[in-house]
Chain A
Amino acid sequence: MKTHVQARINGEEVEFLCEPSQSLLEVLRDVLGLTGAKEGCNNGNCGACNVILDGRLVNSCLVLGVETQGSEIATVEGMAADGRLHPLQQRFLEEAALQCGICTPGFLVSARALLDVHPHPTEQQARQWLAGNLCRCTGYDKIVRAVIGTADGGR
């Protein structure tokens, strides 16, 4: 029997039906059509599914859809606004901080959460914060540069 859930995603009221066993990742991708969050491992080890839930960075594969009743969820789809890219997104493009791009939504969400807490992270702080996001293409160099560069450039 599906559960009815009401939440806010990227500032918009949404409501959806889901099985109690479905993760927030499944809800986002398969119920709501928000395919920006990706499934890389489905057990919290790669960060490709990261979203911000009530101000907290989480693996959406480890959150149940039914747990988000009344919550505020921010996904990659909410980062660009008014026809303009978020500074992190712009910087990722300029620094070539993506190759296949599958990890990019997760990194962007994580980086956004990082800059909310540490507006001017050191390289070490950035690497520690982003260690939960796996990338297999870039070796992380350009990603870290893009994140630190965005912070230095202001938000």
Chain B
Amino acid sequence: MRESDGVIPAHRARFPGSKTVTDTKTRKYQVIGTRPIRHDGVDKVTGRARYGADIHLPGTLYGKVLRSPHAHARIRSIDTSKAEALPGVKAVATAKDQPALADKIADLGEAVMNLRDLATNVLAVGKVLYHGHAVAAVAATSLEIAEEAIALIEVDYEVLPPVLSVEAAMQPDAPLLHPTLTTRSLGQQSETPSNIASHSKIKKGDVDAGFSQSAVIVEREFKTSPVHQGYIEPHTVTAQWSEDGSLTLWLSTQGAFSVRDQIAELLKIPVSQIRVVPLEIGGGFGGKIQVYLEPVAAVLAKKAGRPVKMTMTRAEVFMGTGPTSGSTIRLKMGASQDGRLMAAQAYLAYEAGAYPGSPVGAGSMCMLAPYNIENVQIDAYDVVVNKPKAAAYRAPGATNAAFASESVIDEICERLEMDPLEFRLKNGAKEGDRRADGPVFPRIGYLETLEAAKAHPHYSAPLTRSDDSDGRKYGRGVASGFWMNYGGQSTAYASVNSDGTINLVEGSTDIGGTRASSAMQCAETLGLASEDVKPVVADTGSIGYTEVTGGSRTTFATGWACFEAAQDVKRQMTERAARLLKISPDDLDLAGGVFTSKKDSEKSIGFKEVAARLGETGGPVVGRATVQPKGVGVAFATHVVDVAVDPETGKTDILRYTAVQDVGRAIHPSYVEGQMQGGVAQGVGWALNEEYYYDDGGRLLNASFLDYRMPTCLDLPMIDTVIVEVPNPGHPFGVRGVGEVPIVPPPAAIANAIYHAIGTRMNVLPMSPREVLEATGQLD
């Protein structure tokens, strides 16, 4: 690969000072940075695209899960006999139909889970640990019969007191969810059973010394509730066994290979006997990686000898999948009089839900990453409670933490009378700085996002409207955010068609336009148009191992695999062209779809012609690549938001929102903008309305879209986006993952805006009308 090809070999990338790599005068991309129509677009706007629930096999039975009505209870007995006797019921399953498992950690993209916990979450063993925990399942000839059948299953419960907050869970006499769970604290496993699964610590310098040098110290406590990813498409799977002992699953998932690995472990069958066919997916955001229905459908299908289809209702999605953690965070930060951060001390306790494994570790790593602080101590606790096991949700753990840190920094800025963007510029991290948790930053673009926010017309626009007689209070807030992003393994194959187009096969399910970004990186490399590359998302039997669509990794890593596969095609096609021209391949350049001899420009042949004549020159040309890239680019964002708060009702309206983000390189700017806007919208919901609302018995009361209140288009204005490109030196095109960081700043930015509107600091999420009225002392 040569510099003249238009890409920078990652291992040779070195960029001095603050100069950006992509000087547009020297770096010209033909496809990257344009906005072609996505390749799967027509199918999706016509209703032809097949999502998980759109498949129907002959002879399909319908599966239904029986779920616990209690938040915490021992299962004394389960009697399925009446269900089994109901005409139309073909199979019934409980945990005893699943193999017993030993302790083993499963890698679930941006979450980890003990496989035994994963199995007992799928079907409860001995105890139920949350309202909605799956206890048994049936498969029947119609959904109606299946629903009738589960109502006939008799479960004898011994109800136990539920634990519903980290505070309650951490009391020494708290009811224990798992009698054998002890705390892993700073590398040592304790002997005492506890609801605290782990304690980890990040420490740098001496926080006491730092505070003693601080002119301003702010110390606050924050609380957040679990919130759900809110994907519009419920979980769904169809399972079918063949007489040769192999299992096929058709489903919507963020990771076909992850599902295959999980099923292999849970059902104790070889991966080679499982084929996972990912259909189109209606949203995931981290919540469609861990299995819930899949093992159950497989067990029922095996027992019944027929395919079984299972789809969750919306209520089951809320009750039976994985929201992200509620949390309690205490944060103390100190700054010098001239605005330098001197010390930060944090306590993070996150609700893992029913089993260990909250994203508190990631939260603690991200919380202060945008800043240079000499003295840091963060204690992070992973705590089990009687709520659904937390699953990954877009930058898991970071939003909770940023709500605290970005609010405290705003308060420090106010006390110092410093502009919040200036303060962040003064303390902001850049290349060469070391994060509190260890890694040294390579080339990053945090400061650039601050400069861009400062320069944006939004930041200097007048706040109050000319007519502010409506009684509302107006305020503007800013916040920054960080997410580390993920690399991971991807595979791509690129076959040359006889008409000079490329069949591009990869294994990343397409949630937000990544088929297009993969095809565009391949097209750019070969000098083809975007529409001349035909991307296909393949099943586990048709493509090499590929990790989940998550961690903001797909355009980065799968795109890289597509780039490398295209390079392989280029090498082979160059040889074929050389053979046809009877010259050496070293003499040939490929540009604009034509191979031309460097020595004699008359000697040339088009890529398409070479493609049409592959049979003459040696047969098919297929490029292939596998990657596990190291050069992951981290992501920074800075957001500005204007709000109007009605002091009588406590309602907050978002008037204007500007999201600035360093994306490295925007392959398809429209879909990069889309990620930013979507993350903002979820952040707005998290900030203002969304929460898991429980009664004292631990029953979830708002398991519907009516009462779990996500933003509608009436709740949001247009969301302005500013794409900053500080290319990631670790990627051939400079890509940084973009999908996750945009959800990190909004709750804090909005909290800060509300403060500047009404003069009250909000420290609870969501900042619903009730919370605002309570915080301003207007309730009782």
Contacts and interface: CB of A to CB of B under 8 A. Distances in A.
B544 to A, nearest CB: 25
Contact of B680 (A30, A77, A79, A139): A139
Contact of B38 (A42, A93, A132, A138): A93
Contacts of A76: 45-47
Contacts of B678: 99, 136-139
B694 interface: no
Contact of B681 (A19, A37, A132, A139): A139
A127 interface: yes
A38 B233 contact: yes
Per DSSP, are chain B's interface residues mostly helix, strand or loop, or mixed? loop
A46 B709 CA distance: 11
B51 A38 contact: yes
A133 interface: yes
B56 A30 contact: yes
The size bracket of the interface on B is 35 or more
A141 B681 CA distance: 10
Contacts of A46: 232, 314, 705
Given A93-B45, A134-B232, A136-B230, A100 B283 contact: yes
Contacts of A104: 44-45
Given A41-B704, A99-B511, A99-B512, A105 B283 contact: no
Interface string B487-505: 0000000000000000000
Contacts of A136: 229-232, 283, 285, 678, 681-682, 710
A101 B43 CA distance: 10
A151 interface: no
A126 B712 CA distance: 12
A71 interface: no
B30 interface: no
Given A136-B678, A139-B719, A35 B54 contact: yes
A112 B482 CA distance: 40
A143 B56 CA distance: 30
Nearest to A48: B232
A80 interface: yes
A77 to B, nearest CB: 5
A94 B283 CA distance: 21
Contacts of B679: 139
B713 interface: yes
A105 B45 CA distance: 6
Contact of B47 (A77, A126, A141, A142): A77
Nearest to A35: B54
Contacts of B713: 126-127, 130-131, 133, 135, 140, 143-144
A138 B53 CA distance: 22
A3 interface: no
Nearest to A98: B44
A63 interface: no
Contact of B42 (A93, A123, A141): A93
Contact of A36 (B46, B229, B231, B704): B46
A54 to B, nearest CB: 21
B41 interface: yes
A92 B41 CA distance: 9
A89 to B, nearest CB: 4
Contacts of B46: 36, 76-77, 79-80, 85, 89
Contact of B677 (A29, A105, A139): A139
Interface string A96-139: 10111111110010000000000000010011101111111111
B455 interface: no
Interface in B675-703: 675, 677-682
Nearest to A36: B47
Contacts of B144: 19, 21
Interface string B204-233: 000000000000000000000000011111
A27 B597 CA distance: 63
A39 to B, nearest CB: 7
A33 B48 CA distance: 11
Nearest to B41: A93
B516 to A, nearest CB: 9
Given A89-B46, A138-B681, A102 B51 contact: yes
Contacts of B40: 101
Interface in B122-145: 144
B513 A99 contact: yes
Contact of A138 (B50, B54, B314, B677): B677
Contacts of A149: none
B706 interface: yes
Nearest to B47: A36
B711 to A, nearest CB: 8
Contact of B283 (A21, A79, A137): A137
A33 B706 CA distance: 28
B49, B670, B712: which has the most chain A beta carbons within 10 Å? B712
A105 B35 CA distance: 22
Contacts of A132: 712
B46, B51, B280, B679: which has the most chain A beta carbons within 10 Å? B46
Nearest to A132: B712
Interface in A58-108: 75-77, 79-80, 85, 89, 92-96, 98-105, 108
B674 A131 contact: no
A137 B719 CA distance: 13
B704 A101 contact: no
A134 B283 CA distance: 12
Contacts of B42: 85, 89, 93
A75 B41 contact: no
B233 A99 contact: no
Contacts of A34: 47
Interface in B271-290: 280-285
Given A35-B50, A130-B713, A138-B678, A100 B281 contact: yes
B234 interface: yes
Contacts of A80: 46
A45 B280 contact: no
A134 B710 CA distance: 8
Given A96-B38, A127-B713, A139-B677, 4 more contacts: A29-B53, A76-B45, A101-B40, A137-B283
29 contacts: A35-B47, A35-B51, A37-B47, A38-B232, A38-B233, A39-B53, A40-B233, A40-B314, A45-B705, A75-B47, A76-B46, A85-B42, A95-B670, A96-B35, A98-B44, A99-B511, A100-B232, A100-B282, A100-B283, A102-B280, A134-B710, A134-B712, A135-B232, A136-B678, A137-B283, A140-B681, A141-B677, A141-B718, A144-B718
Interface of B: 35, 37-38, 40-42, 44-51, 53-54, 56, 144, 229-234, 280-285, 311, 313-314, 511-513, 668, 670-671, 673-675, 677-682, 704-706, 710-714, 716, 718-719
